[in-house]
Amino acid sequence: MKAQSALEFVAEARTGRIDLEENTHKILDKVFASEKYNFFNSVSKDLALHQAKELNAKVKSGKASGKLFGLPVSVKDCICVKGIESRAGSRILSGYLPVFDATVIAKAKAEGAIIIGKTSQDEFGFGTFSANAGLGFKVPKNPLDFERACGGSSGGSAGMTAFADFPHVSISESTGGSIACPASFCGVAGFTPTYGLVSRYGLIDYANSLDKIGSMGKTVSESSLLLEAIAGHDEKDSTSLNEKISFSPAKSPSAKGMKIGVIKEFFGQGINSGVSRIAWDSIKKLEKEGAKIREISLPLNAKYAIPAYYIIAMAESSTNLAKYCGMRYGAHESLSGSFNEYFSKVRSCNFGEEAKRRILLGTFARMSGFRDAYYLRAMKARTRLINEFKTAFKDFDVLVNPTMPVPAPKFSEIEKLSPIQQYAMDLCTVPANLAGLPHISINAGLLQKMPVGIMFTAGHLQEERLVQAASALEALK
């Protein structure tokens, strides 16, 4: 029997045919039963049951409405939920209980979402495999193979979405590929919007000029449903765009007539041959359905996107993390010594190794005498990389490439990779993120029984084209 989709569930919940309190109890039991996979940093049981009770009352009073009515929604740990410990996967934020909801949480609640918990991630988003968990945090395991990674940094979101045998979506976040990567490794649909289309107010930032809140669902329509609910202008976010975008897939999705560019460099060196073959098989399916396929070269992005991204991301993260000093919230120590001694002790004891590495590298890039040589040059390079994409979109509706160069690796394999090798794994996802472009990763097939993702990228504010292409491919499975 086919599992009920999120859209079907919401439609049924609005009619009152589902007792949402009873259903939420069952969902929470399954969440606690999944504990060995480490998908959650915290489960918001009391909040979820309180919301379910309120929604049941709305049904009885004839006021049941909302795009997410009664739907269980998990939230990446770096997004603030009022009264629920929100730590961005870091011990330095232990005990932090936000006194407000992030805008996306307020929007989701207003649409009837039931918040079931905060999902695990790399500390502050610093990683590709969710293996850089903060001190005291557990690493999420891939639900398809316990010995493999979920991907990062939104690993818990993707893992739970793939694991759930009930209607569920997850609010996630991407800086350099943190939605697309885990979506690929877990075989779900991960949708990253245009930068600024979804408010970042209430997000515990990694890098302000790069961070984007997005969505995950089992299908394109489910991830689109969530993104439609949380998108929109927000005066509390100075980077928020005042644009209305359609995310709804067509009833009969078709790629006929679409011009699709295949990024040549992202099928080259470093890409697993099996991954490349599966991606090309999907592309040929779209061509058979009437899409116009042609290879395109993005030489600047292939060569410079990763170094530019890491300079910018680390410089901005070192600034953002400077506020965690053990004085106002989160982890703290007994007051002793000078401010610098106290500050250093708190940070040394509570940041993980990867967080320390990025703080040091980012601080170096911002130092007097180095800022012009590194950070500002990286920002200028970013402009050229964006322009290369803009030129490409004069000829194509969407661009396509494998999401990740390999299927989800085993933890034993990750341990053998150097930090530089791990950063290089982001080749296929970083360029679109650096340019602030919308992109979506969906499952293209299986390699050695593990999912392989394919990623579509569109021009700024062209989410509708993404939905069209991804839905068309999804329908051909």
* Count of domains forming the chain: 1
List per-residue pLDDT tens for the chain, 477 residues long: 568 999 999 999 999 999 999 999 999 999 999 999 999 999 999 999 999 999 999 999 999 999 999 999 999 999 999 999 999 999 999 999 999 999 999 999 999 999 999 999 999 999 999 999 999 999 999 999 999 999 999 999 999 999 999 999 999 999 999 999 999 999 999 999 999 999 999 999 999 999 999 999 999 999 999 999 999 999 999 999 999 888 888 788 999 999 999 999 999 888 999 999 999 999 999 999 999 999 999 999 999 999 999 999 999 999 999 999 998 889 998 888 998 999 999 999 999 999 999 999 999 999 888 889 999 999 999 999 999 999 999 999 999 999 999 999 999 999 999 988 899 899 999 999 999 999 999 999 999 999 999 999 999 999 999 999 999 999 998
Provide the pLDDT for residue 1: 52
Distance (Å, whole) CA 199 – CA 183: 22
Report the CATH number that the domain containing residue 416 is assigned in CATH: 3.90.1300.10
Task: Tell me the catalytic residues.
Answer: 76, 153, 178
Q: Is 439 helix (H, G, I), strand (E, B) or coil?
A: strand
Helices (H), 248-338: 273-288, 299-320
Q: What is the pLDDT of residues 332-352, one digit of tens each?
A: 988 889 989 999 999 999 999
Single-letter amino acid, residue 418: S
Provide the pLDDT for residue 246: 84
Beta bridge partners of residue 214, listed in sequence order: 172
Phi-psi region of 346 (alpha: psi -120 to 50; beta: other; left: phi over 0): alpha
Provide the pLDDT for residue 269: 83
Nearest to 101 by CA among 83, 120, 118: 83
What's the predicted TM-score (pTM) here?
0.97
Give the range of the structural domain holding residue 68, as residue numbers without chain letter: 1-477
Strands 189-192 vs 439-447: parallel, antiparallel or unpaired:
antiparallel
Q: Is 264 helix (H, G, I), strand (E, B) or coil?
A: helix
Provide the pLDDT for residue 463: 97
Strands 398-402 vs 450-458: parallel, antiparallel or unpaired:
antiparallel
